């Protein structure tokens, strides 16, 4: 297993898989995208989307079916959380499905109220978009650095 930042040449692979599962496409303009490899195969992906100078959203975590059960999602999230610290971000949001709450808590994420005054407006809008789009319940989680 290895993990690295996605290059422009790998972006079509990322967006092809995001389109397949109904996620928004990625761009390297304001995103750090991590790709996890299992031997020489692309096995999964995740992203950190910059919202502003101090905040980002962690999301787009997706492991291909044949590579599930190998803790690769844990590797992707760990990599992106470390990247958020390296970038000096103060807040990282995440909008996972409810059943993934315990997974994200392992990294320090905690549930917050979407109506809290400090919630970044883009995140509030995306949270409501997710509520309308998905049949499963989603949560709004937050990780604070420093």
The CATH number of whichever domain residue 125 belongs to comes to 3.40.630.30
Residue-wise pLDDT for 7-24, tens only, equals: 999 999 999 999 998 888
Mean pLDDT of 28-37: 96
- pLDDT of amino acid 146: 67
Phi, psi torsion values for 125, nearest 5 degrees: -65, -40
- Domain housing 111: 2-144
Contacts of 130-135 with C-beta under 8 Å, sequence gap 24+, read 130/95, 133/22, 134/97
pLDDT band at 134 (very low <50, low <70, confident <90, very high): confident
> In this predicted model, what pLDDT tens digit does every residue of 82-118 receive, in sequence order?
999 999 999 999 999 999 999 999 999 999 998 888 8
- Number of neighbouring beta carbons within 10 Å of residue 42: 16
Number of domains within the chain: 1
């Amino acid at each position: 297993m290895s993990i690295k930042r996605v290059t422009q040449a790998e972006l079509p692979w990322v967006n092809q898989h995001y389109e397949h599962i109904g996620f928004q496409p990625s761009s390297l303009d304001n995103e750090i995208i991590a790709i996890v490899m299992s031997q020489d195969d692309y096995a999964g992906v995740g992203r950190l989307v910059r919202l502003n100078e101090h905040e980002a959203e962690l999301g787009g975590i997706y492991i291909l079916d044949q590579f599930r059960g190998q803790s690769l999602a844990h590797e992707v999230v760990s990599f992106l959380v470390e990247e958020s610290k390296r970038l000096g971000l103060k807040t990282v949001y995440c909008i996972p499905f409810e059943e993934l709450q315990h997974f994200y808590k392992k990294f320090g994420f905690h549930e917050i109220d979407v109506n809290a005054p400090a919630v970044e407006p883009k995140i509030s809008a995306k949270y409501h978009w997710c509520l309308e789009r998905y049949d499963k319940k989603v949560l709004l989680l937050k990780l604070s650095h420093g």
